[in-house]
Every structure is written in structure tokens, then in C-alpha cells.
Amino acid sequence: MPKQIEAAALKGWIADGQELAILDAREEGEFGRSHLFWAVPCPLSKMEFRARALLPRIGTRIVCVDGGEGYAARLAAYLEDIGGTDVSVLAGGTPAWIAAGYTAFSGVNVPSKAFGEWIEHHYETPSVDPGELKAMMDGGTDMVVLDSRPIDEFRRMTIPTAVNVPGGELVYRIGELVTRPDTTIVVNCAGRTRSILGAESLRSAGVPNRVVALRNGTMGWELAGFTCDRGRADRYPERTPTGVETAFARADAFARRHGVRFITRADFDRMRGEADRTTYLLDVRDPSEFAAGHLIDSRSAPGGQLVQATDQWVAVRGARIVLVDDAGVRARMTGGWLRQLGGWEVCVLTDGLEGRIEEGIWAPTCPEADAVRVPRVTPPELAVLAAEGSVQVVDLARSIDFRDGHVPGAIWGIRTRLSQLADRLAGDRQIVVAAPEEAQARLAAAELKGFAKAPVKILAGGTRAWAAAGFPLAADRRDPADADCVDFYLRPYDRNEGVEEAMHAYLSWEIDLVHEVKKDGDAPFGAWR
């Protein structure tokens, strides 16, 4: 039985500088309503995958939290089952934390978001509002607009004329994108964080041009009455850029200024042998480059996104983060920012991609799923069953992705809560589970077999394979409804009602974070050594 820890004791642990992971067992949307500053989502529905990815060393100190529902105890028991030796549960969950007088935060990726606001204050990062940018465009100002988000977000909505250059690529590629010193560089994202981080990366690296962030990003642009482009794919040239030597010198100076360590593969091998330290190995290049060849056991964590959403990859405070890329620029810039965000020893591999590498995308190990044997159906076989009316598809995609496209007639569900679908799965129609990862589908199939009367199978390759085979997708922005999207913290533009109000609230929330963080007192921005 996992031991319990009181809020005051956990507050002390957060400040003691030792390794600590705070894992929240709720779904992301529930987590986003109220949580501890350094808590990291590890929902029960994905715990077999998330826990192993977030905890390279299962023996580290771990505290499980929730909103008082009892999920934390279930997560803690699982962690002990897979080898956790120092696992606790926060007594009373987040409500008890608040009752003890400590601060709770809404939203997701809060440490990174707050760090972005700190950067703007600390470095006095200049910005322009949407009206100023529109006037610059209309006046023919010599400038470029660089959208610092991943390409999928860029396609959804972006500023007219913008080129997609994710934040981790900016210093690496700016010499090819901007060749005149008089060109103004405008960096944007959807809101504030990545605009600020991207602009300040260029400024701190010593790029001589005028560099500004677009205040409030695409949301601010639309709130100002302007229209975003949609469906565009304008991106940086996918090759080694010109000016790499200059970019390297800039990034190297930035990293050294902020205490990044430099190690070799031999050093890294010794580090991995240290039984009392947690070490993450993260490849900060573009995911396509990672897939083409990467260091064995590394994970893809594009640099801009890693700084913007560190809690997607790293859960252990006080751990060691080892970064790898090819030319050294992206790892150094990412490392310099992670050092300032605070709480980790950060190293860059100087010879990371030399020697033996592997291809393909990273996939977590999941022995629990490997042990489940479930029949598979191919997309053509499912199409026949659907035409006969003899099948019911259960889709485990993120709610936001299910809205965008799913097998016609599919029901959306969350694993570990599939019993909520029992009334909709009545009858003798066989059940086919579609999931982004087959391991997830296997685990769900085992859960469904516990109460469903019909046979359960899984869709080989999931919804992606269905679409790739040429079969149609159904889309419905209101299925599931906003209130039911508990697995995903909806962004303002994902909502079906009150979008403008949600945008205003979101931007105000980001701006206020710097004050909330100061009140909380647990963020060592710029001070960790």
C-alpha cells in the first residue's frame, strides 16, 4: 500500500533539490482545471506508456496526486507493481494542497508558460501588437514573419505571409531565411510563450536584426479583427542551412553562458550506469530527422516544443537531461533555455550522432499490452463488417483528433473508463477498437472484454490505416461535446462556443502567471545552479 504524504511535507520536498516526480493521475482536461505547479499529467488511461517514458529510473522519489477522486492511489499501486520503491500519495489531493494555503494552477504546461512570461520581463523582449504588424505589412516594411509552432498548428491557422520555423530551428536556420541586416524579424505563435521564446532566442544569440514577438499571436490577430490563413504549409527548406558556423558560435556562447555541460558518448555511457540518478536522452531535431536516424534509446523532443512543454517529456526535478542533435546548434540553444527554466543538470552530447544509430519513430515499451492477445481486422475487413451493420467501432484517439476524423459510426471513449459506454455497446455486434497505438488498443480490448458480451477485436493500424486505405472519415466538431473532452485541455479555438471570451481569458491567464508563480515560490527561473 503506497504511503501518504501531507501537503506541508511535499512542499518541503519540492524545495530540497533532490530528485522528485509529481505525477497527476487525472486526464489532461481534468488536470488543467487545478493542479500543483510542478505536477506532470500521467492519466490512468495512458499510465503504462507515460510512466515508463516519464520515469527512466523507476526508483526515483515519486508523489502521485489527483483531485481527491482516488486515481492517485491506483497510479501509485501500479508504479509499485512495476518496480517503484519510493512512491507516495498526496493525502487529500489537490484540494488538500489548496487547503494548506498553497497555490494551485489552471491550464497545462504551466512551468513553461510561466517561464515565457518571466523571459519577457527579465530580458525585456520587444513586441508589436497586431495593429502595428498589419501597418508594417501594408506599408511594405522589409520584414519576415516566422511562426514558431509545429507544422500541424501552423496549418490550422497562421498569420498571412508567415513561414513555419519551429522555435528550436530559429537560430539554426535564420542565416538562410534572413540575409539582410535591415530586415525586421517577427516571431509569432498562437498566444505568447513561443513568440517570446523564439524572439528572445534570436536576440540572445546575437542576431543583429531587429527582432520582435507578435503580442498574443494568432489569437491576438483574430481578436483585433484580422483574418488568419488556414491550410498553408510554407516551411523552411529541409536541408542543412547556410551559415551553420555562425549559428554554432552563437548557440555555443549562449549555452556556455547558462551553464550547459558538454559530454561525449563515453561520458554518457558512464552516466547511464549511475543507479542513483535519472537521465533523459532527448533528440531536439525535427521529428522527420529523428525518424531518419537517431541515437538508440533517445526520444524525439523538438527543441522549441521541449522548452514550451517540458512536462511532456520530463517529470523528474533534479534529473539530468542529455540533449543530442547533429550540428550542435539546436541542442545548445535548447539546453541554455532549460538551464534557465531551472531544476535540471543539462548536458549536450558533442558526438551524439556518431557511430551506431537506429531508424523509425520512438515507441514506449509496454509489457502489459504485449501480454494481451486480441484478433486483428484490416481496414478492408472492417469496411465489410460496417456495410453489414455487424460491428461497433470504439475509438481511443484524443477527443480533439476524434472530432477531426474517425471511422464513420465510431464511438469515442477513454481507456479505464470504457464501462461508461456499456449501454451503447449492447447487442451482439462485434466490437473493434481503433487507437493511435496498437498497444493501447490491446489494453482497451482487455478492458472491454470485462463487460461487453460481443467479441472484441482491434483495427490493425488504427484510424490512420483506415484513411490510408482510402476509406472515408467522419468528422464532427461537436462530438464529443466540449464538456466531455476531459482527456484534452481545450484551447480557446478548439471550443464550440465562447471562443472570443476564451481567447481573452487565456491571454490574461498567461500574463498573470508570472505573478502567480512568484506567490507560489517554487520556480527557480534563472537561478538554479
320-359 pLDDT tens trace: 999 999 999 999 999 999 999 988 999 999 998 887 788 8
User: For residue 343, what pLDDT is reported?
Assistant: 86
User: For residue 364, what pLDDT is reported?
Assistant: 77
User: For residue 426, what pLDDT is reported?
Assistant: 79
Nearest to 196 by CA among 176, 222, 167, 234: 167
User: For residue 355, what pLDDT is reported?
Assistant: 76
User: For residue 529, what pLDDT is reported?
Assistant: 44
Nearest to 413 by CA among 486, 504, 507, 499: 486
Q: How far is residue 201 CA from its own chain's centroid? A: 20
Residues pairing with 145 in the sheet: 186
Residues pairing with 211 in the sheet: 185
Tell me if 525 sits within 8 A of 115, measured CB to CB: yes
Q: Give the β-pairing of 345-349 and 320-324.
A: parallel
Cis omega (within 30 of 0) for bond into 524: no
* CATH architecture of the region 368-484: 3-Layer(aba) Sandwich (3.40)
Sorted by sequence, the CB contacts under 8 Å of residue 214 that are 6+ apart come out as 127, 128, 130, 133, 145, 159, 186, 187, 188, 189, 195, 220, 221
pLDDT beneath 70: ranges in the chain? 527-529
Sorted by sequence, the CB contacts under 8 Å of residue 17 that are 6+ apart come out as 318
Cell 501537503, residue located: 7
Q: What is the pTM of this model?
A: 0.95
Tell me if 508 sits within 8 A of 493, measured CB to CB: no
Spatial distance between the Cα atoms of 521 and 16, rounded to a whole number of angstroms: 13
* Superfamily of segment(s) 114-242: Rhodanese-like domain (3.40.250.10)
* Superfamily of segment(s) 3-107: Rhodanese-like domain (3.40.250.10)
Spatial distance between the Cα atoms of 508 and 502, rounded to a whole number of angstroms: 10
User: For residue 427, what pLDDT is reported?
Assistant: 82
Q: How far is residue 356 CA from its own chain's centroid? A: 28
Q: Which alpha helices (DSSP H) does 55-144 contain, by range? A: 71-81, 93-99, 110-123, 130-138
Amino acid at residue number 405: G
Residue-wise pLDDT for 198-220, tens only, equals: 999 999 999 999 999 999 999 99
C-alpha distance from residue 432 to each of 45, 226, 381, 456 (Å):
18, 44, 11, 6
Element (H, E) at 366: none
Q: Please, what's the b/e burial string for 127-154 (b: 16 or more CB within 10 A of its CB; e: otherwise)?
A: bbebeebbebbeeeeebbbbbbbbbebb
Domain definitions of the chain by residue range: 3-107, 114-242, 249-354, 368-484
User: For residue 528, what pLDDT is reported?
Assistant: 53
User: For residue 527, what pLDDT is reported?
Assistant: 66
Cell of 285: 531535431
Mean pLDDT of the chain: 95
User: For residue 356, what pLDDT is reported?
Assistant: 77
- Domains 114-242 and 249-354 are alike in CATH topology: yes
Cell of 78: 501500479
CATH topology of domain 249-354: Oxidized Rhodanese; domain 1 (3.40.250)
Sorted by sequence, the CB contacts under 8 Å of residue 146 that are 6+ apart come out as 162, 163, 164, 165, 170, 177, 185, 186, 187, 188, 198
Spatial distance between the Cα atoms of 53 and 280, rounded to a whole number of angstroms: 9
Spatial distance between the Cα atoms of 71 and 200, rounded to a whole number of angstroms: 40
Q: Count the alpha carbons within 13 Å of 245 in the hemisphere toward its beta carbon.
A: 0
Angle, CA of 153, 154 and 159, to the nearest 5°: 130
Q: DSSP letters of 405-467? A: -B-TT-EE--TT-GGGGGGGG-SS-EEEEE-SSHHHHHHHHHHHTTT-SS-EEEETTHHHHHH
